[in-house]
């Protein structure tokens, strides 16, 4: 039915209705019970079966609206007027049953989301300052508290690991099936499963603000944010109900008063029309499908913020990707090292000399805050190069670091630093640096006493699944795939050509990304994929804003229309497949339910379809539509 409420207690009432209906039939058609009791059993069936429909009807009549429930109640009363109590009772039983099953089915979709809540423990082990443990409810945990989590336990609250290491199954939040290894400093989320290590966390969010709480809140509001098709059907329902009532009044009075037909048979036919013309299946066709699709997405790490966005995703033909942190990992890594001997003006291939150069670079960078510094230090470690002890270190923002090692001046920095500070630079060094830049690298020079001893090239690595995702999107008919970045054009072009992008826009500020999105919108329906923090304006402006890896960022949860909880680009083709499947199921349901109405109406006028058959056809089609919608709960391949 098109019931807007979750009907508490509908199943018990449906059972009472069935029992009363059966007892009434026994009293009417056998001698086991006195026949005079039949009418009372039928009245009980009417009251229990029609209770929820009657409440809904009154609510709508208060707003001067007619709804489907009104049509059902009217048809059942019509049957009673004709003395066909049993047919009215069957109608109300089936009406009540399909309402109960619909509530159950939609409840099943919602439970798919609430199962997340069940994963979140209600208590956590708080560590007191004296080292003792106390079990407290998660609501009592405050930011800064220390919590102990043992192997095999679900993490009770969002926090950062301050002691221990482990692997964590984050599938409840990110939809990512492979467990992730976590160590000191890493963030962990409530409702995820600690697989093997004992860890201590420092609480970063109160229970009501954890990522899992936000997900549940988002999905709850998503179900209220209706799809366009559903909104159309909701406005169509009262108008259609009025037309049916007018038509039925005409069907009763015109044949009876104008053509002198017998009242009883005319009235019976009109009541059958009233039942079969009710668009129950049609009205439920969209919510049954859309809510199931939202639930499926949520279980697999894709959060739609409403039915409207499930439908919008189907229209997408242009996708704009932010580069850093979306197509790339967002963490630079060393790609090449070049060792140079300025005396012979030659490049040298010597592992020991490379180690020396890396030790100088790591020594200069070990106290730097720059994101490239971390990559250089990590790489030096893997090569076994210990950072050299440096003195008198000075950092020049936007250029690099000067220092002294045993009284000799050393420097690590970018091209700007060296062109401004040093006179002599070999042409060979310049050419090699240019080649590395063209391949999409950032180049850092290392010098001792003003002479270059080598270069370190770094690049933000492309995510392993980026190529595959873009190929899949092309295969799914996405016409234009574009990259937006604030990075320099050489790096951007190298990555874009590697991934096979149609267009690349580099050196962009956040507000310039908005201009590009506007331009793209003039030729297509645009989805913007970003990490949510600096992409918020572009996400908000696109036809569909998709935030990546939002398990950590609140801004992304708030500005995007669709949120991918993990850092998995593969979720984008999954989201498109799911929304297309949902649209297909919605239209299957709409076509089927309209077909059934037309067929049953034809049956009434051509073969005098009995009311009972009309009731079974009508309620049966409603159930089939709900079950078809529920198929969307299955993982879409």
Q: Domain range for residue 256? A: 10-113+231-293+580-633
Confidence category of residue 1, pLDDT binned at 50, 70, 90: very low
Answer whether residue 218 is part of any domain: no
Residue 145's alpha-carbon distances to 127, 133, 140, 205, 208, in angstroms, are 8, 12, 10, 10, 15
Answer whether residue 3 is part of any domain: no
Answer whether residue 150 is part of any domain: yes
CA–CA dist 632, 307 (Å, integer): 13
Answer whether residue 30 is part of any domain: yes
Which of 106-115, 238-247, 456-465 is predicted with the least confidence, judged by mean pLDDT?
A: 106-115
**In what helix (H) or strand (E) does residue 214 lie, and over which residues does it extend?**
helix 211-224
Q: 95 with 244, same domain?
A: yes
**How many domains does the chain fold into?**
4
| pTM of the shown model | 0.76
User: pLDDT of 322-359, one tens digit each?
Assistant: 887 788 887 889 999 999 988 888 889 888 999 999 99
Of the candidates 495, 497, 542, 493, the residue with the CA atom closest to the CA atom of residue 520: 542
Confidence category of residue 42, pLDDT binned at 50, 70, 90: very high
How many Cβ atoms from other residues are within 10 Å of residue 379's Cβ?
A: 19
User: pLDDT of 159-215, one tens digit each?
Assistant: 999 999 998 888 767 666 678 888 899 889 888 889 888 999 999 999 888 877 777
Q: 172 with 310, same domain?
A: no
Query: Token match 């630093």: residue?
Result: 417
> What's the CATH number where 390 sits?
3.40.1110.10
At 619, list the tokens. 């309620």
What burial letters (b/e) apply to 152-187, b meaning 16+ CB within 10 Å?
ebbbbbbbebeebebbbbbbbbbbbeebbebeeebe
Q: 150 with 244, same domain?
A: no
Answer whether residue 95 is part of any domain: yes
CA–CA dist 96, 339 (Å, integer): 81
Answer whether residue 552 is part of any domain: yes
Query: Token match 């944010």: residue?
Result: 225
User: pLDDT of 393-444, one tens digit each?
Assistant: 888 776 788 899 988 999 998 887 777 776 667 888 889 988 998 888 889 9
User: Does the CA dihedral 263-264-268-269 come out positive or negative?
Assistant: negative
CA–CA dist 215, 221 (Å, integer): 10
Answer whether residue 200 is part of any domain: yes
- Domain end among 400, 431, 461: 461
Query: Token match 């967002």: residue?
Result: 330
> What's the CATH number where 180 sits?
2.70.150.10
Q: 307 with 336, same domain?
A: no
Q: 370 with 510, same domain?
A: no
Q: 354 with 501, same domain?
A: no
Which of 53-62, 106-115, 345-354, 606-615 is predicted with the least confidence, judged by mean pLDDT?
A: 106-115
Answer whether residue 224 is part of any domain: no
Q: 105 with 239, same domain?
A: yes
Cα atoms in the 13 Å half-sphere on the side-chain side of 527? 27
- Radius of gyration for the chain, computed over Cα atoms and rounded to the nearest angstrom: 34
Q: 129 with 197, same domain?
A: yes
Exactly one of 322, 531, 567, 568 is catalytic; which is it? 322
Q: 339 with 449, same domain?
A: yes
Question: What residues contact 64, with CB distance under 8 A and at least 6 apart?
Answer: none
> What's the CATH number where 542 sits?
3.40.50.1000
Q: 75 with 201, same domain?
A: no
Q: 455 with 340, same domain?
A: yes
322 is catalytic: yes
Q: Residue 528 in contact with residue 545, Cβ under 8 Å?
A: yes
User: pLDDT of 207-264, one tens digit each?
Assistant: 888 877 777 776 666 656 677 887 888 888 888 889 999 999 999 999 999 988 999 8
Q: 185 with 259, same domain?
A: no
Question: What residues contact 530, with CB distance under 8 A and at least 6 apart?
Answer: 321, 322, 326, 538, 539, 545, 546, 547, 548, 556
CA–CA dist 227, 219 (Å, integer): 14
């Amino acid at each position: 039915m098109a019931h807007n409420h979750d009907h508490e207690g509908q199943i018990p009432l449906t059972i009472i209705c069935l029992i009363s209906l059966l007892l009434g039939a026994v009293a009417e058609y056998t001698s086991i019970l006195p026949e005079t009791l039949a009418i009372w059993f039928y009245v009980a069936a009417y009251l229990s079966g029609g209770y929820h429909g009657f409440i809904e009807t009154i609510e709508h009549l208060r707003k001067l609206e007619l709804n489907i429930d009104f049509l059902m109640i009217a048809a059942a009363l019509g049957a009673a007027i004709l003395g066909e109590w049993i047919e009215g009772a069957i109608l109300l039983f089936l009406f009540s049953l399909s309402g109960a099953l619909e509530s159950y089915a939609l409840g099943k979709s919602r439970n798919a989301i609430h199962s997340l809540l069940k994963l979140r423990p209600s208590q956590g082990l708080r560590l007191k300052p004296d080292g003792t443990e106390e079990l407290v409810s998660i609501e009592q945990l405050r930011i800064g508290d220390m919590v102990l989590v043992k192997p095999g336990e679900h993490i009770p609250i969002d926090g950062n690991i301050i002691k221990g290491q482990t692997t964590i199954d984050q599938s409840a939040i990110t939809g990512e099936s492979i467990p992730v290894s976590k160590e000191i400093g890493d963030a962990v989320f409530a409702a995820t499963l600690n697989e093997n290590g004992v860890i201590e966390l420092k609480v970063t969010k109160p229970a009501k603000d954890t990522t899992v709480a936000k997900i549940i809140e988002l999905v709850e509001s998503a179900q209220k944010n209706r799809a366009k098709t559903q909104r159309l059907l909701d406005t169509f329902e009262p108008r259609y109900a009025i037309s049916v009532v007018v038509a039925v009044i005409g069907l009763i009075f015109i044949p009876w008063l104008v053509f002198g037909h017998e009242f009883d048979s005319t009235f019976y036919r009109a009541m059958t029309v009233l039942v079969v013309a009710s668009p129950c299946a049609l009205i439920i066709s969209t919510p049954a499908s859309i809510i199931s699709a939202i639930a499926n997405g949520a279980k697999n790490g894709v959060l739609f913020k409403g039915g409207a966005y499930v439908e919008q995703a189907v229209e997408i033909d242009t996708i704009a990707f932010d580069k850093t942190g979306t197509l790339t990992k967002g963490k630079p890594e060393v790609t090449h090292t070049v060792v140079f001997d300025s005396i012979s003006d030659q490049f040298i291939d010597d592992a020991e000399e490379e180690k020396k150069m890396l030790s100088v670079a790591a020594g200069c960078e070990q106290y730097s805050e720059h994101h490239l510094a971390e990559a250089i230090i990590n790489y030096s470690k893997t090569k076994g190069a210990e950072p050299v002890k440096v003195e008198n270190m000075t950092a020049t923002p936007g250029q690099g670091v000067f220092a002294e090692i045993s009284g000799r001046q050393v420097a690590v920095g970018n091209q700007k630093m060296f062109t401004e500070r040093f006179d002599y630079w070999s042409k060979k060094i310049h050419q090699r640096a240019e080649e590395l830049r063209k391949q999409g690298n950032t180049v850092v020079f290392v010098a001792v006493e003003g002479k270059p001893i080598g270069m370190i090239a770094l690049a933000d690595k492309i995510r392993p699944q980026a190529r595959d995702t873009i190929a899949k999107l092309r295969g799914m008919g996405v016409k234009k795939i574009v990259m937006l970045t604030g990075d320099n054009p050489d790096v951007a072009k190298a990555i874009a050509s590697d991934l096979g992008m149609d267009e690349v826009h580099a050196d962009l500020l956040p507000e310039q990304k908005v201009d590009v999105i506007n331009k793209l919108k003039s030729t297509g329906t645009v989805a913007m994929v970003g990490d949510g923090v600096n992409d918020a304006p572009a996400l908000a402006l696109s036809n569909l804003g998709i935030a990546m890896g939002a398990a950590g960022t609140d801004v992304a949860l708030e500005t995007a229309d669709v949120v991918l909880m993990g850092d998995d680009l593969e979720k984008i083709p999954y989201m498109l497949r799911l929304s297309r499947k949902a649209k297909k199921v919605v239209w299957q349901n709409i076509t089927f339910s309209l077909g059934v109405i037309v067929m049953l109406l034809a049956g009434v006028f051509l073969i005098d379809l009995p009311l009972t058959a009309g009731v079974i056809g009508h309620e049966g089609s409603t159930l089939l539509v709900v079950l078809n919608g529920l198929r969307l709960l299955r993982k879409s391949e």
